[in-house]
Structure 1
Amino acid sequence: MNAITSVEKAPERSDAEKALETLLAWARSASKEEVADLDPSVSRLLSDAPEYPQFRRDYPDDFAVGEVYKSSLPDLQNGPSSLIRGARQQIQHVGISNFRLPIRFHTRDNGDLTLETSVTGSVSLEADKKGINMSRIMRSFYKHAEETFSFDVIEKALDDYKTDLESMDARIQMRFSFPMKIESLRSGLSGYQYYDVALELVEKDGVRRKMIHLDYVYSSTCPCSLELSEHARATRGQLATPHSQRSVARISAVIDCAKQCLWFEDLIDACRRAVPTETQVMVKREDEQAFAELNAANPIFVEDAARLFCQQLQKEPRVGDFRVVASHQESLHSHDAISILTEGPTFEMASIDPKLFNTLFHVG
């Protein structure tokens, strides 16, 4: 069977010229909308079409921004409410997170320390406002960045960006790693322990609260495991060791700055009184033995930990509402033991952040 196939002839230049003449003849009598509907690129073939602009591709080092030019720049975030997308609903917090800068802090024992600090700043946004200029939060904060920080200075920064952004409610949180030298248990050596600390100032409905958050890392020896180990030794002459694990308590507290200052070191000392088995920095053999003895003298369930921290916080007159979140990161189980204890309404929560306990892992 013979198959006959036809091969299309490739168009020549003369064919293209005739097609272009036909296209241009049609375009001269067509509207711009009709031309665009056919193909937007056709409009570039018309004789009266403006040429595509040729933009400069080099950076203009010599360009200076004048006031007139600056006033011509678009500012969508301060636009009318007609630009709002989605529901016209108040936003409780909008701002920036984790802008970093060196901040100088007072300490109880070591004068002033300059520490790298991560700052989160946010304000409320009314339902009829499109958005905020977020750089104003940073600019307001930087006005005070050279001062030695206290809650008084944080309040000034909060006042500034509330005014700049015309907001009702606002929040500043400052996170940093606070170094504190601690001595080993028996060898006389010393080293720096670093504590995750955050200071927070929150204003809502005209009421301001000052808060501190601290992560305290300690060793927890299971009381049940300790008793079972001793039982094996006593009844069967079997050497056994109780399980213990690195554990973390996150202490959050409202503080009363009208009274005597609550130093970072004061809160750390309160944690040590509650649970003295803090992880160690410098350790020789005599220190390791001492730490084993210290753990045996202070076995602790996660329920015990929450209540012991609570007991110390209740004794502190500079502390108001507080929350204790404890996580014992078990060496026996493939899961962790956790507890949450709150006092007062500030930290009450019906729902727990699904990632809360993930943030309590302190790795080297």
Structure 2
Amino acid sequence: MASFNSHNTVLPDVTTEQSTAQVPVIDKVGMQGIAIPLHILGKRGERLASKATVDVTVSLDHPNAKGIHMSRLYNLLQRYLSNQDLHKSALVSLMNSLIESQGGLSNSAQLNLHFDLTVSRPALISKMSGYQSYPASLCVRRSPTGYKAQLKLTVPYSSTCPCSASLSRQALSDAFIQQFEGKDLSLVEMGAWLASKQASIATAHAQRSFADITLDLSDNEIPDFIGIIDLVENALGTPLQTAVKREDEQAFAKRNAENLMFVEDSVRRLHEALSTYYQATYFRVKVEHQESLHAHDAIAELSGPVHR
């Protein structure tokens, strides 16, 4: 009686069958959402992420091939990325191997790494600190024309509406005049009133905001993730905080007052910061202010080349 588990059995592989008719070239075929324990390091060697999801595809350029060798793509991801520090050499070798693994069926390959950068951020004044998460994607493509890489990064921040701030100041001014018109006040008395609950006439509305940054990278180097985050947060001036004390919260309120921003202001600040960034050739920015006044959100987009 024959065994179903015989080691001599040759299992069929329909992907090796040749089509009798010419078929169109497929631009991308592969897998998405593959879980990988990936180590992403900062420029100072600190670990920023420990897991990622990966999308991997190759082109199917052979005119008579039924399909690609998909399992080979999966195995190569495990070999080059699983529990490894992400380095330029590993990425370049992986992209070349993805194409070579198809035995002449493919001329190009694409890899999308999606991960959250977990970065320790200090408080503004005190010695407190905590971890902030920044969603990121590193997209790499290898084709006959060369190697291209693109970084996508989301940086959260706070934005306070300039119009609302102006209206709040006007309301406070009106209340002050109504309360003290014709009275001779000392500076101490004025300061005491301004510090009291009576002076809480109106407050400017602020909102959780997001800057979506896309950079076409200029070389094969792994991006300086923390350097880019610092550049964006410094340009906007109002980064979200993690662990804080009261002095940090007050400093944050001052930061917002010093950096009143419409979405137009935000993208212009980021344009100035990114238009000379050394690791990129082109940048795209989209900002989103998730309104606390309106039921809708405000957005703005801007893009341009990097000048050196």
Please classify the TM superposition score into its range, dividing by the shorter chain length.
0.7 to 0.9
Structure 1 position 250 matched with structure 2 position 212: yes
**Alpha carbons of structure 1 residues 128 and 304: separation in structure 2 relative to 1, 3 Å:** farther
Name the CA distance, whole Å, in 1 between partners of 2:202 and 2:48: 46
Structure 1 position 158 matched with structure 2 position 84: no
Could you tell me which residue of structure 1 aligns to residue 258 of structure 2? 297
Could you tell me which residue of structure 2 aligns to residue 209 of structure 1? 148
Q: 1:207: how far off? A: 2.5
TM-score, structure 2 normalization:
0.82
Could you tell me which residue of structure 2 aligns to residue 318 of structure 1? 279
**Alpha carbons of structure 1 residues 116 and 258: separation in structure 2 relative to 1, 3 Å:** closer
Name the CA distance, whole Å, in 1 between partners of 2:125 and 2:287: 28
Structure 1 position 143 matched with structure 2 position 79: yes
Larger CA deviation: 72-81 vs 223-232? 72-81
Correspondence for 2:299 among 335, 338, 347: 338
SS at match of 1:155: helix
Mapped contact 1:251–1:324 kept (Cα < 8 A):
yes
Identity %: 32
Name the CA distance, whole Å, in 2 between partners of 1:89 and 1:309: 43
SS at match of 1:142: helix
Correspondence for 2:115 among 146, 152, 176: 176
Any residues of structure 2 matched to 1:38-187 within 5 Å, and which? 63=5, 66=7, 68-69=8-9, 72-82=10-20, 88-112=23-47, 115-126=50-61, 128-145=64-81, 146-165=83-102, 166-187=105-126
Mapped contact 2:275–2:283 kept (Cα < 8 A):
no
Name the CA distance, whole Å, in 2 between partners of 1:131 and 1:89: 12
Any residues of structure 2 matched to 1:193-208 within 5 Å, and which? 193-208=132-147
SS at match of 2:203: coil
Aligned alpha-carbon RMSD (Å) = 2.4
Bigger RCO of structures 1 and 2 (CA < 8 A, at least 6 apart): 2
Mapped contact 1:155–1:201 kept (Cα < 8 A):
no
Name the CA distance, whole Å, in 1 between partners of 2:294 and 2:256: 19
Name the CA distance, whole Å, in 2 between partners of 1:219 and 1:114: 24
Mapped contact 1:147–1:153 kept (Cα < 8 A):
no
Q: 1:310: how far off? A: 1.6
Correspondence for 2:165 among 219, 222, 226: 226
Q: 1:89: how far off? A: 2.9
Mapped contact 2:38–2:86 kept (Cα < 8 A):
yes
Name the CA distance, whole Å, in 2 between partners of 1:112 and 1:296: 34
Name the CA distance, whole Å, in 2 between partners of 1:99 and 1:153: 18
**Alpha carbons of structure 1 residues 79 and 282: separation in structure 2 relative to 1, 3 Å:** same
Could you tell me which residue of structure 2 aligns to residue 49 of structure 1? none
Unaligned 5+ segments in structure 1 are: 1-55, 346-364
Mapped contact 1:170–1:204 kept (Cα < 8 A):
yes
Mapped contact 2:41–2:85 kept (Cα < 8 A):
yes
Q: How many residues align?
A: 277
Mapped contact 2:42–2:224 kept (Cα < 8 A):
yes
Higher gyration radius (CA): 1
Mapped contact 2:35–2:51 kept (Cα < 8 A):
yes
Name the CA distance, whole Å, in 1 between partners of 2:144 and 2:302: 26
